[in-house]
Structure 1
Amino acid sequence: MKRLLLGASGAVLALAALPAAAQTNSQTNATTVQDIVVTAQRREQASQDVGASLSVVGGQELDEKNISVVNDLENVVPNLEVDSQFGGGQPQFRIRGVGAREYSSNNASTVGIYVDEVAHPYTVTTQGALFDIARIEVLRGPQGTLYGSNTTGGAVNIITNAPTADFRAGVTGEYGSYDRYKLDAYVSGQIAEGLLGRLALVTEQGGAWQYNRDTGQKLGDLDKTAVRGRLTWDATDDVTVDLAATYMVDKSDGLGFRLLGDYTTAGGVTIPKDTAWRITGWSLSEQLAKVSGRSVGDKPGRDNDGLDLSARVTANLGWADLTSISAYQSFTRSEYNDWDGTSARESDVFFYNDIDVLSQELRLASNKDGRWNWMTGLHYSNESNDGGFYTEYRAITALIHTPYKQDVESIGVFTNNSFQATDRLNLVLGLRYEYEERSLTSPGTYRLNATPGAEATYSTDMSEVTGKLGLEYDLSDNALFYANVARGVKSGGFTTYNATSATPFAPEELIAYETGVKSDFLDHSMRLNGSVFYYDYKNQQVQTVLYDRTSGRVGKIDNVPKSHIYGAELEFEWTPIAGLSISQNLSYKHGEYDEYNSVDTTATAAANPTNGPWDVIIYTDRAGEKLPFPKMNYGGSVAYDWQMAGLDLRAETNYNYRDDLYSTSASSIIPAYWLWNANFTTGPTNANWRVGLSVRNLFNTYYEETRNGFNGSARPTTSPQPGRTVAVRLSMDF
């Protein structure tokens, strides 16, 4: 497959400024499948020339496919799952079944999240609006030889629009169901000789689609605002400085839970199961309102804000390019959730966090055409996370409090090399060494009407060598075969919920074997990419239940000694005639525990006194048990562009099927579902404005994100998603 490297910085900036749909080779015709230029491997390449499983979502597609938060990416990317744990603002990412399901905000993600090459180690900081985006690149499999931190699952790279040399401006307004509206705007251009700037902002408001079963009060309003500024300064002919600053505020409502069965409270009151889709319940108590800074009766929701600052300096040294990325992140979390979904105050929780992250990355990379392309780098990160949560739990009159202070310091040295052995064969070798120290200080979990225990400090460290060995072989000018073996490691950490002890769990290790083909057919009008993979998993981190001798049953994160995952993905694109584009994707995965003895909670409870001490722990062998993730998902889109009566018209529909999922939290099955969306856009040919109509969840499908068994009910609560919503959109460019 022909290699595409863009060496001219002006060409790169021009491509970055265009919507993804416009980023095509100038030689292509109207029936050519577009080849987006990506930076997944820290250099500009055509996406078809990257020997790895990679999906790209262009900025133009975000609105068309109804992607407004990172969670929505799961509907367009194969084998990707993103959900907000238990209806809150803490998203968890899983790629090919590799990922966590936890609601605390102190542990590293198994999937690396990057915004303009800056790592976001805490996923709670990614819940702001996606706006002014050039593209999103999703890499599947362990990462570490190219990116800031080690991950076992993969990486999600969010690339924002860069400043443009020519003056550009635009504004888009959207209004839809439940009085939801969104307004975003940008202005970009030259400020002075050698200095380019871009300013973008967005606000999303309204959309309350749920209501309280007792009071009729609405729930679900968005209240998000964000602004980003970027400057690009050509300091000299060989030195460029890129500065970026983003500030966001999120005061949105939370998601209400539904009762899947009759629920009897600790006081003996039975609340019938919910039959209405949009129904929920909550009631913030005086004591929880006091510690959260809210008022009695306030709705579940967030009061979060974050600031991201970064400075990227690139210098052409003649023999190599030097890149420095300095970044600072500050994020404050304040979030109240009602997990029982009733006014009974049986499982209400308030989270708080103050997060500060300082990072520095240096990279040196070859810039000459030749057989050997190399890159070496150094990444340093220092994190401070002061947080905790208060819980008001069933039959316990006093609030339960778990505070903690966590500090993380890490340094990584990495290199990635590719050698063109022959005209068709390319060999890839990447290595990384990382050392990390984590410490957490906490008195543990205690009731506010009791004296907290003495503070204890727990620590864990990681010293690991990881890497990647791969080959890329051009079967023809239009077909690339690749094979990779990679080892990834995810940091250990601490359980900070429902536990009297924060003893650390170990890092998890994954060796991934993958092979695939990327190919274009029929004069580049058809594209077929496929891959198969096998993961050898050690010390997989899972949520489970352990027993403490004095406290009894406690929720903990623990390590599974051995497990495995295998699967495959297929992506297809076709432009059979001018204006018609079809894309399809199909993915499958299967996983099992190979060695895992977990606590048999029923037998252990029966073998010990009701109030302890719990000295007899009985285990059950879970080897051969399937891992809890959807086995299959299928998705795609069909779009048609045409002209008629002086108008440009575009009709598009996209869809996604997700297999059923076993919820370990609720010990029940979350059913499979289909989700369909549709969009129609039109405007006068050559005009600077467009109007559009979009429908999300076209067939009004009921589907759930997560289930929750914390309220002690025999039937769990669930976090439903909105039904059909409609929106109209007006866009203008200047």
Structure 2
Amino acid sequence: MNTRKALLPLHASGTRLPVLASAILLAIQAPDLLAAQATEEEAVLPKLTVTAQKRVEQAQDVAVALTPLTGKDLQERGITNINQLQYQTPNLEIDPTYGSDQTQFRIRGVGLRDYATNNTSTVGVYVDEVAYPFTVQTQGLLFDLDRVEILRGPQGTLYGRNSTGGAVNFITRKPTRAPEAEVKVGYGSNDYKTLEGFVSGPLTDTLRGRLSYAGKDGGAWQENRVTGQKLGDKDINAFRGQLEWDASDALRFNLIANYGRDQSDSRGARLYQGLLPRNISGQTNYASIAPDRRQHYTGWGVSPGFAAATGLSLDDKPHRDNTSKGISLTTDWALDDHLSVTSITAYNRLDRNEYIDWDGSAIAQSDEFFDTVIKVFSQELRLASEGNGPLDWVVGGYYARERLDEQFFSDFSEYRGLGNIYLTEYGQRAETISLFGQGRYALADDWTLVFGVRQEHERRTLNDYVTGYLNDRAPALDQSLRSDETSAKLGLEWRPAVGHLLYASISRGVKSGGFTTYNTNATLASSLTEPFQPEKLLAYEIGFKSDLTQALRLNGAAFFYDYRDQQYQSQVWINQDVGNVGRLINIPRSEIWGAELELQWQPLANLNISQYIGFKAGRYQDFQGLDSSATAANGYAFPVYNNFDNDNLTNFPETSYGGALRYNRVLGPLEWTGSFDYAYHDTLNSSTTGRSTNHYWLANARLAAAPQGGNWELALYARNLFDKEYDLYKGSFLSNAQMAHSGEPRNFGVEATYRFF
């Protein structure tokens, strides 16, 4: 690896398989057909720089299904949270579980439905190469970013952690060698206010710094169906500071510290089928709640007992008070022109306090409060080489230590059959050690062999797990899980002409095992906390990347996944007295297959069009599961099991589609830029809740004006332009609260940006 070049600042300037095959053929033949049409005046698509394979290269040279988004893309499309990325790339979904910060990631259908905090994601999320293993850690503001790289398919032979679904890499803007400063203010619907800014530049000849800030306030759009009280205000502040020091021509240090505080309202639940109270004897007989006919209706309430147990106030709204902080040190040392060492040392902490009303009403049938502390330390060390010969490689080691402590309260005091407040508390510890490496060998000028392997040892423990009624809980339990797993990759790349890449790969990814930590009866704690095993994914993929002309780019991929020990939120039968309870299990074998196409076209120098489409489907191959409905129908006298072999997987939408248009033009003294993006989200059928989230379209628009070569910009935006009513998540709890968590309605706003240098 030419590390002297690598040390330079990085600033990035339903289809089916036959359709993909046709596209591959077009990619090979099109250059001869289109080259004659090219002229010197033809618009040219930008070349995006990425580091997805731990070296600096053009995105079109990376033989991985990869979607890069620049910081400018994120700004123009109003993306300030990781969840919004699902509308920018094929076969990616991110759902807020029960409206909380505990989100669900899926790439190409690979994901875990789990509302508990303690289990790691199938999708690796990284900020400046630092892993955030728990999904609740990923909900901070996105600001002052250079780019985002979204990789689809198993990762591991080049990354600090294993993942079966893919990876999302955030790369922040680095300190600059010349002074720069900027501030942006915004105001929108429902008194929504934003403020962002940064200052960057040299402190000495060898030391540079950067300080960034982002904040949100207001924006409440939900309404209590009874009192009319508003819900949904944002109250977020985030800071990031960086120091970059050139200790010598060959040695560079980058120190990053971040801090965030989120005191926003949580998302309220809409009772789309109403609610029939199941009150216990002797308590208030609440009237039934009619189905909510408006998307923004919701409800909540804190009982005196729940307030006393959690420290909440009786008049509290659903809200969070989360604090995140972290620090990382990246060291790049060029040993010589062809060999370098990279070290990444990091520590992150999240303190989470979140109150959510899962039944969406004033009735104490399912009110939840999470008190969580997460601490993660990690150390990665890599040695990389890129010489003049046919072989280049990266090898490394990774160590991580995780500590999670949580109290999880549930208020079922007005639910018949339970009639009490539950408390589950526990500690979870994990230690991961791995060695990994990946190499590339040039078989010929246009053929390259890729090979990689990773060996990982992990130990997870569940400590002092206690659950049950607040005043009657089981003795503390301990569980442990050890695993030694291997990930690997073998690929072949062919470059038949400049600007054209075809590739095929076989890769194996692994996701960590874990523990079910739901609230439960004290007598069931031992059986429910038995660990579930790591899941394994063997992925077969073919793809192509092709610049058909300087102005037309088409990328595509098709994949087949052999899925073993898939982690799945299901139910298990305990006995006649207890019946069915929820638990995470392993499904022995299933399959997923699909395809994706991404297109970028710049027909004019000032017009850019992008499109994507993704399709996926799957089925169980070996799954004997509990039929919870049939078991309930016989009064839980005995369990009824079904053979689900060859049944379709339903935990993900089949089709994703979207695109964006950007046009700029000079009129008088101003340059005007209009942008429009849209996305289609297919129906999501849940086999765990039995509910379907309907398909929907979303569209956003932005119009900006700035003087040519000037230092300010004024922009108007509209999000959810056509005021589409849609649900992000739909489910039920205890079969009583049929609730959904709605997306935000149409909102408008204005943004003003001023650059000081």
Q: TM-score, normalised by structure 1?
A: 0.95
Q: Which amino acid aligns with 2:503?
A: Y
**698, 705, 708: which is aligned to 1:675?**
698
What CA deviation, in whole Å up to 9, does each residue of 1:471-516 have, x standing for no partner? 1100211210011100001011001113423110011010000000
Looking at structure 1, the residues matched to 308 and 609 of structure 2 have their Cα atoms a distance apart, in angstroms, of 54
- The corresponding residue for 1:657 is 680
Shift of 1:30: 6.9
User: 2:512 aligned to 478, 481, 491, which one?
Assistant: 491
Do structure 1's residue 642 and structure 2's residue 642 form an aligned pair? no
How many residues of Structure 1 are paired with residues of Structure 2 in the alignment?
A: 713
Give the distance between the partners of 2:664 and 2:642, measured in 1 at CA: 58
AA partner of residue 410 (structure 1)? T
Which of 430, 433, 449 is the matching residue for 1:427? 449
Which string of whole-angstrom CA distances, capped at 9 and with x for unpartnered residues, describes residues 389-421 of structure 1? 110122333211111110000101000100111
Match of 1:359 in 2: 378
Highest relative contact order (Cα 8 Å, sep 6+), 1 or 2? 2
> Which residue among 233, 242, 246 is the counterpart of 2:245?
233
Aligned pairs (5 A) from 1:543-562: 543-549=569-575, 551-562=578-589
Residue 24 of structure 1 is matched in structure 2 by none
User: Which residue identity is paired with 2:582?
Assistant: G
Tell me by how many angstroms 1:551 deviates: 3.8
> Measured at CA, do residues 48 and 182 of structure 1 come closer, stay the same or move farther in structure 2, by a change above 3 Å?
same
Other-structure match for 2:304: 286
Residues 510 and 535, structure 2, Cα contact 8 Å, conserved in 1:
yes
Alignment of 1:163-174 (within 5 A): 163-174=175-186
Q: Distance in 1 between matches of 2:743 and 2:190?
A: 14
Residue by residue, what CA displacement relative to the aligned partner does 1:257-280 show, whole Å, maximum 9, x if unpaired? 111113210135211111122110
What corresponds to 1:416 in structure 2? Answer: 438
Q: 1:728 to 1:381 in 2, by over 3 A?
A: same
Change (3 A) 1:542 1:14: closer
Q: Tell me the distance in 2 between the aligned counterparts of 1:619 and 1:14.
A: 55
**AA at the equivalent of 1:171:** V
Residue 579 of structure 1 corresponds to 606
- Asked if 1:335 is matched to 2:347, the reply is no
Distance in 2 separating the partners of 1:484 and 1:93: 23
CA distance in 1, matches of 2:646, 2:724: 34
- SS for the counterpart of 1:169 is strand
Q: 1:637 to 1:660 in 2, by over 3 A?
A: same
Contact 2:11 2:173 in 1 (8 A): no
Q: Which residue of 1 aligns with 2:483?
A: 462
Contact preservation (8 Å) 2:467, 2:519: yes
Give the secondary structure class of the aligned counterpart of 2:475. coil
Task: Tell me the residue number matched to 2:715.
Answer: 692
Choose the corresponding residue for 1:53, options 46, 62, 65: 65
Residue 623 in 1 paired to residue 648 in 2?
A: no
In structure 1, C-alpha distance between the alignment counterparts of 2:633 and 2:226, rounded to whole Å: 39
Mapping 1:329-408, distance limit 5 Å: 329-393=348-412, 394-395=415-416, 396-408=418-430
1:13 to 1, 9, 16: 9
How far apart are the structure 2 equivalents of 1:262 and 1:157?
Answer: 41
Q: Distance in 2 between matches of 1:237 and 1:636?
A: 43
Give deviations 1:661-685, integer Å, cap 9, x for gaps. Answer: 1023431221100001001000111
What is the CA deviation profile of residues 668-716 of structure 1, one whole-angstrom value per residue up to 9, with x for unaligned ones? 2211000010010001111100000110001000110111210423x72
Alignment partners' CA distance in 1, 2:491 and 2:742: 42
Structure 2: gaps (5+ residues)? 14-38, 280-284
Q: CA deviation at 1:445?
A: 2.4
How far apart, CA to CA, are the structure 1 residues paired with 2:687 and 2:118? 21
Indicate conservation of the 8 Å contact 1:340/1:711, yes or no.
no
How is 1:417-566 mapped onto 2 (pairs within 5 angstroms)? 417-450=439-472, 452-499=473-520, 500=525, 501-522=528-549, 524-549=550-575, 551-566=578-593
What SS is found at the alignment partner of 1:397? coil
Equivalent position of 2:82 in the other structure = 70
Q: State the shift of 1:123 in Å.
A: 1.2
Question: Does the Cα contact within 8 Å between 1:694 and 1:727 map onto a contact in 2?
Answer: yes
Residue in structure 2 matching 1:569, options 570, 583, 596: 596
Does structure 1 retain, via aligned residues, the 8 Å contact 2:11–2:146?
no
Name the SS for the 2:648 alignment partner: coil
Residue of structure 2 equivalent to 1:22: none
Q: 2:741 aligns with which of 714, 719, 730?
A: 719
Q: Counterparts of 2:743 and 2:109 in 1: how far apart (Å)? A: 22
Which amino acid is the alignment partner of residue 311 of structure 1?
L
Distance (whole Å) between structure 2 residues aligned to residue 182 and residue 227 of structure 1: 14
Distance in 2, Cα, partners of 1:634 & 1:7: 41
Q: Which residue number in structure 2 is paired with residue 21 of structure 1?
A: none
Is 1:589 aligned to residue 616 of structure 2? yes
Which residue in the other structure is 1:265 paired with? 277
- Partner Cα distance (2:292, 2:342) in 1: 56
Amino acid across the alignment from 1:424 = D
Match of 2:140, SS state, is coil
Aligned CA distance change for structure 1 residues 279 and 239 (closer, same or farther; 3 Å) = same
**Secondary structure in 2 matching 1:103:** coil
Aligned pair partner of 1:129 in 141, 152, 159:
141
Identical pairs, percent: 41
What is the alpha-carbon distance in structure 2 between the residues aligned to residue 472 and residue 254 of structure 1?
47
Cα 1:187–1:225 shift into 2, 3 Å: same
> Which sits farther off after the overlay, 493-502 or 723-732?
493-502
2:423 touches 2:519 (CA, 8 Å); kept in 1?
no
Contact 1:6–1:44 (Cα < 8 Å) also in 2: no
1:305 aligned residue (314, 323, 326): 323
Aligned to 1:23: none
Between stretches 135-144 and 254-263, larger displacement belongs to 254-263
- Secondary structure at the aligned position of 1:291 is classed as helix
* Per-residue deviation, 1:601: 1.7
Distance in 1, Cα, partners of 2:705 & 2:497 = 40
User: Residues 179-222 of structure 1: CA distance to partner in whole angstroms, max 9, x if unpaired?
Assistant: 01110000000011200100001111100000111111110001
Separation in structure 2 between the aligned mates of residue 28 and residue 307 of structure 1, nearest angstrom: 51
Equivalent-residue separation in structure 2 for 1:266 and 1:625 (angstroms)? 34
Partner of 2:752: 730
For 2:305 and 2:457, the matched residues in 1 are separated by 43
Cross-structure match for 2:22: none
Q: CA deviation at 1:5?
A: 7.8
C-alpha displacement of 1:607: 4.1
> What residue identity is the alignment partner of 1:577?
L
Structure 1: 5+ residue runs without aligned partners? Answer: 19-26
**In the TM superposition, what is the alpha-carbon distance from 1:291 to its structure 2 partner?**
3.0
Instruction: Classify the secondary structure of the residue corresponding to 2:744.
Output: coil
Do the aligned partners of residues 443 and 231 (structure 1) sit closer, same or farther apart at CA in structure 2, a change above 3 Å counting?
A: closer
Q: Go from structure 1 to structure 2 and tell me whether the alpha carbon gap of 1:673 and 1:405 turns closer, same or farther (over 3 Å shift).
A: same
Secondary structure at the residue paired with 1:8? helix
Aligned to 1:215: 227
- Give the aligned residue type for 1:371: P
TM-score (norm 2): 0.92
Taking structure 1 as reference, are residues 425 and 206 closer, same or farther at Cα in structure 2, changes over 3 Å only?
A: same
1:400–1:446 CA contact under 8 A, matched in 2: yes
Q: Which of 152, 163, 168 matches 1:140?
A: 152
Which stretch shifts more, 550-559 or 570-579?
A: 550-559
- Aligned letter for 1:223? D
Matches of 2:361 and 2:656, distance apart in 1:
33
Distance 1:262 1:325 in 2: 51
Kept in 2: contact 1:253–1:302 (CA 8 A)? yes
Following TM superposition, by how much is the alpha carbon of 1:7 offset from its aligned partner in structure 2, in angstroms?
4.8
